Amino acid sequence: MRAAVYHGARDIRIQNPPMPVPGPGELLLEVRSSGICGTDALEWDGGPILTPLDQRHPVSGHQGPIILGHEFGGRVVDLGPAVDGFATGDLVACVAGISCGACEACRAGTSNFCDRYFTLGIDAHGGLARYVVAASAACLEVGRLGLDDDGAALVQPMSVALHALRQGRLRPGDTAVVLGVGGVGAFLAYAAAQLGADVLAVDLDPARLAVAEALGVSAALRADPGASPAPGVLGHVGSAVSVVYEVTGAPAALAAALDMVRPRGRVVQVGLGADPVSIDMRRITLREIRLVGTRAQVFEADFADAASLIASRPEGWSDVAPIALPLDQLVSDGLLPMAKGRPERIKTLIDPWATAIRPASGARAGSIDRSSHRPLERVIAE
Ligand SMILES: [Zn+2]
Ligand SMILES: [Zn+2]
pLDDT of residue 365: 42
Question: What order do you get walking across the sheet with 11-15 strand by strand?
Answer: 11-15, 3-8, 66-67
Span from the CA of 283 to the centroid of ligand 1 (angstroms)? 32
- 116 Cα–ligand 2 center, Å: 6
CA-wise closest residue to 130 among 218, 32, 53: 32
Alpha-carbon distance 226 to 130, whole Å?
A: 43
In a domain, 12, yes or no: yes
Centre of ligand 2 from the C-alpha of residue 108, in Å: 9
> Do 149 and 11 share a structural domain?
yes
Statement to judge: residues 106 and 69 lie in one domain: yes
Cα 98 to ligand 2 centroid, rounded to whole Å: 9
Distance CA 145, CA 151 (A): 10
Per-residue pLDDT for the chain (382 aa), expressed as one digit of tens each? Answer: 999 999 999 999 999 999 999 999 999 999 999 999 999 999 999 989 999 999 999 999 999 999 999 999 999 999 999 999 999 999 999 999 999 999 999 999 999 999 999 999 999 999 999 999 999 999 999 999 999 999 999 999 999 999 999 999 999 999 999 999 999 999 999 999 999 999 999 999 999 999 999 999 999 999 998 899 999 999 999 887 999 999 999 989 999 999 999 999 999 999 988 788 999 999 999 999 999 999 999 999 999 999 999 999 989 999 999 999 999 999 999 999 999 988 889 999 999 999 999 999 854 544 444 444 455 555 555 5
Q: Tell me the C-alpha to C-alpha distance, in Å, between residue 151 and each of 25, 324, 349.
A: 24, 12, 10
Q: What is the pLDDT of residue 274?
A: 79
CATH code of the domain covering residue 11: 3.90.180.10
Separation of alpha carbons 260 and 12, rounded Å: 42
Same domain (yes/no): 150, 167: no
Instruction: Give me ligand 1 centre to Cα 158, in Å.
Output: 10
312 is a domain residue? no
The boundaries of the domain holding residue 50 are 3-154+317-380
Q: Identify the DSSP state of 151.
A: H
Query: What separation in Å is there between the alpha carbon of 91 and the centre of ligand 2?
Result: 26
Report the CATH number at residue 254: 3.40.50.720
Q: Give the pLDDT of residue 139.
A: 98
Q: Which amino acid is at 44?
A: W
- Residue 144 forms part of a structural domain: yes
Domain assignment present for residue 9? The answer is yes
CB atoms within 10 A of CB 239: 8
Q: Within this chain, do residues 147 and 196 fall inside the same structural domain, yes or no?
A: no
Q: Which of 292, 326, 356 is the last residue of a domain?
A: 292
What is the per-residue pLDDT for 376? 57
Whole-number Å distance, alpha carbon 36 to ligand 1 midpoint, is: 6
Same domain, 182 and 256: yes
* Gap from CA of 113 to ligand 2 centroid (Å): 7
State the distance from the centre of ligand 1 to the C-alpha of 343, rounded, in angstroms. 14
**What is residue 363's predicted lDDT score, i.e. its pLDDT?**
46
Short-list 208, 212, 210, CA closest to 199: 212
Span from the CA of 107 to the centroid of ligand 2 (angstroms)? 7
Domain assignment present for residue 224? The answer is yes
Domain-located, residue 298: no
Domain boundary among 249, 277, 292: 292
Cα–Cα distances in angstroms (integers) from residue 279 to residues 77, 86, 127, 283, 288, in the given order: 51, 49, 38, 8, 15
Centre of ligand 2 to C-alpha 40, Å, is 25
Number of domains in the chain: 2
